[in-house]
Structure 1
Amino acid sequence: MRIGFYTSTFNDRPLEEVVDFAASSGFDAIEIDVGGHIKRPDHVEAAVELARSRDLFVSSITYFGNQLDADRGKRRELRARTSEFASAIGEAGVPIFVIFPGRDDAASEEANYDDFADFVKELIAKTQSFGLTFAIENWPGPKDNFIGTTPRGWQELFRRIEDRRFGLEFDPSHLIRIGVDPYRAMEAVKDRIAILHAKDTAIDRESLQAVGYHGKGWWQYKLPGLGLLDWPRFLRQARGYDFDGTLSIEHEDAAYGWPGKDLSARKEGERLGLDYLKNVLNGL
């Protein structure tokens, strides 16, 4: 497995500085954020070549946005832009394009799944010659209601999108905080995992007791190894499924400078995550 990180942690820094840090720190790969580091589709090739010039594998490019936005104008605009990025990413030879399904609160559950699945199938058809894989991260969204972010939701999408060029950026941290067993969840989708997000979650049981699941402050995202996930078990399980893709650290640990605070602390967090994951993989 390659180990990389998602550049969103450094969206306030130029990409050249970010890839220099990644290469000098010993990372194998990089996951580039569109919002922070690739503003337009015609910038994709230069960004990818910059990373490759530092001997970094570009594991994926990630584009945040609600693909089911209730505002039809915004939805059309986002999807047109997504389609443009898909072509540029495919042409650049990057294997995975990560997007987010979102949700239209005014539409039915079935309509949301049908609509998003139809759009993904259009993207798959458009990029057939590149073999580009599309993946969704299982982040539940700001209202904790994005479709396709739970085991049942994944199956709803996979039933509609049978092509294996659609899969998951599987992130165990989100599952922990919503009460889903990440090991059982991974078992059920082992053949649809395109990339793994390396992020953990810590839960303060006393705070949870005080405020309940709908309260705030009882959970925090953490760097790998600083939360509840049993990483040796998790990565042994992934390896047992012949997963040999990228482990992409998504650093959102407030104890190490996130979001956008002390730069040296953010870098320290990335290095700690890298060292931890290397040690786990070496011990499997």
Structure 2
Amino acid sequence: ASLGGRVIFMCLVPEDITMNRKEAFSIWKETFPTIVKQAEKENLYIALEGWPGPAPYYPTLGTTPEMLRAMFNEIPSKHFGLNYDPSHLVRLGIDHLRVLTEFGDRVNYCHGKDTEILHDDLYEHGILPATFGAKYDFSEGSWRYTIPGQGEVDWGKVAVRLDKIGYQGPVSIELEDHRYWGSLEAERQGIIKAKEHLSIYFK
């Protein structure tokens, strides 16, 4: 706050990643309200990142509607919200537009990242991580992260819903795509292409 920051971006991953989410939640609800009270005092907004965490435990809190609903019931303050990143929702099989309908008033940040569902690989190992390794970087097998416009996210509808809820923050491009990785020029091209696609829908 003293440096002018207004949004704190975080993944709530327990130190012991084998801890089940229900147990982690019980610890969280006893400790986190104090942190949010301090955030309110400093006029800071917390944005939970929806990355589910490392396989095979996926321990991160705040990645599914079930958990978000429970967390927001415990802490109704809008200083405790989410980073809307539809790429994680798509890979988990969660309706990325419905999340905005239910939790739009808690969106404190937004990531411009997409996910492609790899249907042939989905047939091979379902939603489980590939036994013998994923074919692509930024993937576990049946899906891969990609730049906006190359996956399943309907960015036109996302833009309409973000506008409706009055979101005024950035759509921050999070570059995780094997085709635009490994060199400065490749990453530059990825960011340019992502921006070009998002610019179609966002003012």
Could you tell me the TM-score, scaled by structure 1's length? Answer: 0.63
Please state if 1:276 is matched with 2:197: yes
Aligned ranges 1:191-206 → 2 under 5 Å: 191-206=105-120
Cα gap change, 1:275 to 1:122, in 2 (>3 Å):
same
Q: Structure 1: how far apart are the matches of 2:121 and 2:22?
A: 36
Contact 1:223 1:273 in 2 (8 A): yes
RMSD of aligned Cα (Å): 1.7
Unmatched 5+ residue regions in structure 2?
131-140
TM-score, normalised by the number of residues in structure 2: 0.86
Matched to 2:145, the amino acid is Y
What is the Cα deviation at residue 108 of structure 1?
A: 5.8
In the TM superposition, what whole-angstrom CA distance separates every residue of 1:154-197 from its partner, at most 9, and x where no partner exists? 01111111211100001100110111110111111011000111
Instruction: Give the equivalent residue in structure 1 for 2:135.
Output: none
Query: Runs of 5+ in structure 1 lacking a partner?
Result: 1-89
In the alignment, what sits opposite 2:147?
223
| Deviates most, 97-106 or 226-235 | 97-106
Distance 1:105 1:262, change over 3 A: closer
Aligned equivalent of 2:167? 243
Partners of 1:239 and 1:190 lie apart in 2 by: 10
- Shift in CA distance, 110/145, structure 1 to aligned 2, threshold 3 Å: closer
Change (3 A) 1:161 1:270: same
1:179 to 93, 109, 123: 93
Counterpart of 1:230 in structure 2: which amino acid? D
Residue pair 1:256, 1:265 contacting (<8 A) in 2 also: yes
Q: Residues 107 and 272 from structure 1, CA distance in 2 versus in 1: closer, same or farther, beyond 3 angstroms?
A: closer
Compared CA separation, residues 267 and 118, structure 1 to 2 (3 A): farther
| From 165, 171, 176, the counterpart of 1:252 | 176
1:102 and 2:23 aligned? no
SS in 2 for 1:270: helix
1:267 aligns with 188
Equivalent pairs, count:
190
Distance 2:21 2:117 in 1: 30
CA distance in 1, matches of 2:49, 2:127: 22
Question: How far does residue 117 in structure 1 lie from its aligned partner after superposition?
Answer: 3.4
User: Counterpart of 1:167 in 2: which secondary structure?
Assistant: strand
Tell me the distance in 2 between the aligned counterparts of 1:105 and 1:125: 27
Question: Which one has a larger percent helix, Structure 1 or Structure 2?
Answer: 1
Cα offset, 1:277, TM superposition? 1.0
The 8 Å contact of residues 223 and 251 in structure 1, kept in 2 or not, is answered as yes
Contact 1:166-1:192 within 8 A present in 2 as well: yes
